Chain A
């Protein structure tokens, strides 16, 4: 028995030790990878983003806001940290990272709309966070969405289970430099034309509407207020922007107008700017979109230009 227990302990210690070394090696490798999944995070948490404006939001932020154009038209440097499939709750990981970094932007442009409010039940592209799970300002947010994060930040190597490609990438980065980053300061313009996503959506929905519960709306606004408070506490200005979506989509959100008014009131209460482009001319023209929720490259250029004109009128 003694021999068995000693052997079990021996194997366990060696196994955990080797896995810990492997985890560290992969973490370190991924933290210097420069691709679309890890590149922006690495720059943010490596204090390499020193821009005046940082755009935060979901996929609409990522494809709508052109930072090069913003820099050109406003004279303020800009970086886009939009993350696909994130709600306000998960966007706190970005906000917290901005706040925790040594260099703060002058402004955070928060791309927000009705879909940002409800808390999602899973983390999209969780792999992007994995090297940084030891950062409590990231893991504390993620744990509330996915409780496995508790084990993943504590036990060695568990977080990389099911991601052999990511592990390989992290390990190989120590031997070979990569440059697969294809975005422009986080912006990913979509050179696409209108597709049939919206008609599929309309067929699926029929006469149904998307209605948020009172709890979802209240929770969403609580988080929005928290984000504003956190930014303000560090002297970071907040500008809430509601980007345009295709006008016919709004028919499926009966609460939109009410929520827009709430956002408006919140911005007045907090003395911050709110720019609402959801009913601009852009939203009437399908040719600016590739689906009902996202602008294509041409639409993004027009929208960003419009935004810059309005930003230039603000006392920033």
Chain B
């Protein structure tokens, strides 16, 4: 069930009514309702996926209790290993098996041996990369004694399958989200209103920005061999905006929806394209994933508090694994490696923690220096995005080389259509003026009603006006 679908428009109010009017007196009933509706939501794609998420949830629930019950380190480690192997095993089979099999065959082919890759004819379950990471964080935090495991199986299953963030994040930590299932939720008007605003903004980003940019991106990437260099550059920009609009839009809808039910999810994006360097970009982009890798992989490897060689190695490991998390394709690994190459100079020179303050704090516009920094960071990001979007490595390199080998100027301005430039311009202006503040959605509440209310109508109408005709799914569902 897509957030931008009629089914969801019916689903959400029904669940809302049942949650606050039918089950509100009983916490267990409320959690059970969330569990049931979350399974309905997830099963809407394919009911067969439910068995996987249920099994993963059960394994981690039991593992958490067993880890807590034992004092012996080896036993605790054993149950942690079972949890990790189960979740990584699911990922390995459903997501990466065919990639490894094909890569092995290709590797042998390079050496002159022909082997036929054994591939599995299976569908990638939606959201598997998200909920497996969420449940693994639970097991690891229990093992590290950062969290008490729960013996409330309903609350735990509901935490794993919580529908707003199930299929595309944010990847919630059990320390943040699970306790919210264990205490009574009270409806707050401010939270509800803020949630609705955030949903509206998320829908705008997804349906207007991302889906319209997608039309251009598809055409440009499909015809990259013949298009001029300026159009190819524009293609990478469109894709940067598409993926941001799509993913951050989804996150906003997820966080806004959770607010309607009295839950606070973590922020997943902080206007990353206004970053002054790549390190700052990675503190603002897909925050739930980057912090997950930081806490569960980077820091255990020693982080940056090791010698230079290891620090570089750890950085490469994190970015490549992060790339690989996105998909079973060498392009994602390349994307990760490129970002590692961007990051390492900053790390080695200590500049990775330079830009940690707010951008243009208390100022309407950034300084010239900040504009140049943001421009450069954005350009580097767009270059890397070409690998993320391309079908394979060869296409990515071809795309980039065509920027310089093809004639630069376009014959017509079809790919620079005023409609797209206008939408993107207005959106970036709003992002800068309003949404670069962490509490933007709350701040809007304090704006004058004569300004605020027509703005909601205009935003809603513009979303209707400019949305493309077919409800497009979210890019991150494929991960």
A264 to B196, CA, bound (A): 62
Task: Select one of A7, A158, A164, A167 contacting B193, CB under 8 A.
Answer: A7
Q: Are B187 and A15 interface neighbours, CB within 8 A?
A: no
Task: Select one of B193, B457, B469 contacting A161, CB under 8 A.
Answer: B469
Residue of A nearest to B469 (CB): A162
Task: Select one of B189, B456, B466 contacting A164, CB under 8 A.
Answer: B466
Task: Select one of B189, B419, B460, B465 contacting A15, CB under 8 A.
Answer: B460
Q: Are A162 and B6 interface neighbours, CB within 8 A?
A: no
Is the CB of B32 closer than 8 A to any CB of chain A? no
Q: Are A14 and B457 interface neighbours, CB within 8 A?
A: yes
Q: Is chain B's interface secondary structure helix, strand, loop, or mixed overall?
A: helix
Is the CB of A205 closer than 8 A to any CB of chain B? no
Is the CB of A41 closer than 8 A to any CB of chain B? no
Q: Are B196 and A8 interface neighbours, CB within 8 A?
A: yes
Q: Which of B423-456 contact A (CB under 8 A)?
A: 456
Question: Given that A18-B457, A19-B461, A151-B6 are contacting pairs, would A161 and B189 also be in contact in the complex, using a CB cutoff of 8 Å?
Answer: no
Q: Are A19 and B464 interface neighbours, CB within 8 A?
A: yes
Residue of B nearest to A150 (CB): B6
Q: How far is the CB of B6 from chain A (nearest CB, A)?
A: 6
Q: How far is the CB of B413 from chain A (nearest CB, A)?
A: 16
Is the CB of A157 closer than 8 A to any CB of chain B? yes
A312 to B189, CA, bound (A): 78
Q: Are B465 and A161 interface neighbours, CB within 8 A?
A: yes
Chain A residues, Cβ within 8 Å of B192: 4
Q: How far is the CB of B130 from chain A (nearest CB, A)?
A: 29
Task: Select one of A1, A158, A164 contacting B20, CB under 8 A.
Answer: A1
Is the CB of A3 closer than 8 A to any CB of chain B? yes
A11 to B6, CA, bound (A): 18
Is the CB of B468 closer than 8 A to any CB of chain A? yes
Chain A residues, Cβ within 8 Å of B467: 161-162
Q: Which of B1-32 contact A (CB under 8 A)?
A: 6, 20
A22 to B457, CA, bound (A): 12
A167 to B467, CA, bound (A): 13
Is the CB of A160 closer than 8 A to any CB of chain B? yes
Q: Is chain A's interface secondary structure helix, strand, loop, or mixed overall?
A: helix
Residue of A nearest to B192 (CB): A4
Residue of A nearest to B190 (CB): A4
Task: Select one of A8, A15, A157, A162 contacting B466, CB under 8 A.
Answer: A162
Residue picked from B189, B461, B464, B466, most chain A C-beta under 10 Å = B464
Q: How large is the interface on B (under 10, 10 to 19, 20 to 34, 35 or more residues)?
A: 10 to 19
Task: Select one of B189, B460, B461 contacting A4, CB under 8 A.
Answer: B189
Chain B residues, Cβ within 8 Å of A18: 457, 461
Q: How far is the CB of A167 from chain B (nearest CB, A)?
A: 6
Quick one: CB contact mask for B138-150 with A, threshold 8 Å, 1 for yes?
0000000000000
Chain A residues, Cβ within 8 Å of B6: 151
Q: How far is the CB of A263 from chain B (nearest CB, A)?
A: 35
Task: Select one of A1, A8, A11, A160 contacting B465, CB under 8 A.
Answer: A160
A11 to B453, CA, bound (A): 9
Q: Which of A159-174 contact B (CB under 8 A)?
A: 160-162, 164, 167
Chain A residues, Cβ within 8 Å of B187: 1, 4
Q: Which of B153-187 contact A (CB under 8 A)?
A: 187
Q: Are A11 and B456 interface neighbours, CB within 8 A?
A: yes
Q: Are A164 and B457 interface neighbours, CB within 8 A?
A: no
Q: Are B465 and A167 interface neighbours, CB within 8 A?
A: yes
Q: Are A15 and B457 interface neighbours, CB within 8 A?
A: yes
A3 to B419, CA, bound (A): 38
Q: Are A158 and B464 interface neighbours, CB within 8 A?
A: yes
A260 to B153, CA, bound (A): 69
Q: Are A164 and B468 interface neighbours, CB within 8 A?
A: no
Q: Are B465 and A164 interface neighbours, CB within 8 A?
A: yes
Q: How far is the CB of B57 from chain A (nearest CB, A)?
A: 31
Q: How far is the CB of A316 from chain B (nearest CB, A)?
A: 43
Residue of B nearest to A156 (CB): B464
A164 to B419, CA, bound (A): 9
Q: How far is the CB of A8 from chain B (nearest CB, A)?
A: 7
A4 to B191, CA, bound (A): 10
Chain B residues, Cβ within 8 Å of A148: 469
Chain A residues, Cβ within 8 Å of B460: 15
Chain B residues, Cβ within 8 Å of A7: 193
Residue of B nearest to A11 (CB): B456
Q: Are B461 and A162 interface neighbours, CB within 8 A?
A: no
Chain B residues, Cβ within 8 Å of A167: 465
Residue picked from A1, A3, A158, most chain B C-beta under 10 Å = A1
A161 to B456, CA, bound (A): 17
Q: How far is the CB of A159 from chain B (nearest CB, A)?
A: 10
Chain A residues, Cβ within 8 Å of B456: 11
Quick one: CB contact mask for A1-44 with B, threshold 8 Å, 1 for yes?
10110011001001100110010000000000000000000000
Q: How far is the CB of B326 from chain A (nearest CB, A)?
A: 29
Q: Which of B372-420 contact A (CB under 8 A)?
A: 419
Q: How far is the CB of B460 from chain A (nearest CB, A)?
A: 6
A4 to B16, CA, bound (A): 12
A14 to B454, CA, bound (A): 11
Chain A residues, Cβ within 8 Å of B466: 161-162, 164
Q: How far is the CB of B442 from chain A (nearest CB, A)?
A: 15
Q: Are A162 and B468 interface neighbours, CB within 8 A?
A: yes
Quick one: CB contact mask for A137-155 with B, threshold 8 Å, 1 for yes?
0000000000010010000
Chain A residues, Cβ within 8 Å of B193: 4, 7
A18 to B192, CA, bound (A): 24
Q: How far is the CB of A146 from chain B (nearest CB, A)?
A: 10
A15 to B466, CA, bound (A): 17
Chain B residues, Cβ within 8 Å of A4: 187, 189, 192-193
A1 to B19, CA, bound (A): 12
Chain B residues, Cβ within 8 Å of A11: 456
A18 to B458, CA, bound (A): 11
Q: Which of B197-248 contact A (CB under 8 A)?
A: none
Chain B residues, Cβ within 8 Å of A160: 464-465
A144 to B143, CA, bound (A): 57
Chain A residues, Cβ within 8 Å of B20: 1
Residue of A nearest to B17 (CB): A5
A148 to B460, CA, bound (A): 20
A142 to B453, CA, bound (A): 37
A113 to B189, CA, bound (A): 63
Q: How far is the CB of B465 from chain A (nearest CB, A)?
A: 5
Residue of A nearest to B20 (CB): A1
Q: How far is the CB of B259 from chain A (nearest CB, A)?
A: 11
A158 to B193, CA, bound (A): 24
Listed A/B pairs (11) with beta-carbon separation below 8 Å = A1-B187, A3-B189, A7-B193, A15-B457, A18-B457, A157-B464, A161-B465, A162-B467, A162-B468, A162-B469, A164-B466
A positions within 8 Å CB-CB of B: 1, 3-4, 7-8, 11, 14-15, 18-19, 22, 148, 151, 157-158, 160-162, 164, 167
A18-B457, A162-B469 are known; give 12 further A-B pairs, CB within 8 A.
Answer: A1-B20, A4-B187, A4-B192, A4-B193, A7-B193, A15-B457, A15-B460, A22-B461, A161-B464, A161-B469, A164-B419, A164-B465
Q: 5 closest A-B pairs (Cβ-Cβ)?
A: A162-B469, A4-B192, A161-B467, A1-B187, A162-B468
B positions within 8 Å CB-CB of A: 6, 20, 187, 189, 192-193, 196, 419, 456-457, 460-461, 464-469
